[in-house]
Amino acid sequence: MCLQVSIEFSASSESDVEKLARAVKAEFAVEFALESLQKSRRVAKVFVTAKGSGCGCSFLESTAMPHDDLWHFRPEAARAVADAVEQVGKRKQGEITFQAIWLGPDREDLEVRRVGLGELAKLIRSCEISQSVRYLAASVPD
């Protein structure tokens, strides 16, 4: 079982994703790993991990459990993930999708919730991200 944190956003090529990943990695303590690029829809999905980590588990407090309703991120991890999400939203056009889900046999279908980009960042920073929700936020390009 493992925590998977992901963001989907508009992208036309792998180089587009790599450029964004380099910019985010330079500013925040997170890394992006390209999971998929649907060129026909111009949508990329990246996994967000702590630098040097292969999954999102290192974002969590040691007391976090898979059955918790909300994710208990370490404070510095919550800030880094929220900042990275905000940067994606500011650099990309259209809508972004954010989810933090526990990979395992008991995973449920996700509820979809529309929020503003600022509200999404606030939810992440305050550890109010549900493991059963996929968050959709409109981007706000500079």
Q: At what angle do helices 117-125 and 75-91 cross, to 10 degrees?
A: 170
Which residues touch 106 (CB under 8 Å, ≥6 apart)? none
Which residues touch 28 (CB under 8 Å, ≥6 apart)? 80, 83, 84, 87
Q: Which of 47, 17, 8 is nearest to 31 (CA)?
A: 47
Structure-token pair, residue 8: 């989907």
Number of domains in the chain: 1
Domain that residue 63 falls in:
2-138
* CATH value at residue 9: 3.30.70
Answering whether pTM is above 0.85, one says: yes
Q: pLDDT tens digits, the chain, 142 residues: what are they?
A: 688 899 999 988 899 999 999 988 888 889 998 899 988 888 999 999 988 887 888 899 998 887 888 999 999 999 999 999 999 999 888 899 999 988 765 566 889 999 999 999 999 999 999 988 999 998 876 5
